[in-house]
């Protein structure tokens, strides 16, 4: 069984017992989070599709850990203009394990 959920402005395909990295959530490690924006639930050839959301569909997950992604370097440069700006960014994420998928 799998589902497509929306969180943090992105869409993810999830399956039971799968690990998923989403945008940072406000929850402690070990806490249970519920994703209510379910777009699609499928099992084999049977697919339930929402318009745009599936009524009563939800995905329950447990927070595994919080972390930061890989470092991304930002460089703005104009040649012969004495202009150079450098910076770095590490995007925070939350890793969750999907416990249950229900179609509603």
Give the total number of structural domains in the chain. Answer: 1
- What percent of the chain is modeled with pLDDT above 90? 96
- Show the domain range for 79: 2-102
Q: What is the pLDDT of residues 49-87, one digit of tens each?
A: 999 999 999 999 999 999 999 999 999 999 999 999 999
- Whole-prediction pTM value? 0.85
DSSP the chain: -EEEEEETTEEEEEETT-EEEEE--S--TT-EEEE--EEEEEETTEEEE-SSS-TT-EEEEEEEEEEE---EEEEEEETTTTEEEEEEE--EEEEEEEEEEE--
């Amino acid at each position: 069984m799998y589902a497509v959920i929306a969180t943090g402005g992105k869409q993810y395909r999830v399956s039971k017992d799968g690990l998923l990295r989403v945008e940072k959530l406000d929850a402690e490690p070990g806490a249970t989070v519920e994703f209510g924006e379910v777009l699609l639930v499928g099992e084999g050839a049977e697919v339930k599709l929402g318009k745009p959301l599936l009524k009563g569909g939800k995905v329950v997950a447990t927070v595994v850990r919080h972390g930061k992604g890989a470092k991304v370097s930002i460089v703005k440069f104009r040649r012969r203009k004495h202009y150079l700006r450098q910076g770095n960014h590490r995007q925070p994420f939350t890793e969750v394990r999907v416990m249950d998928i229900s179609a509603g």
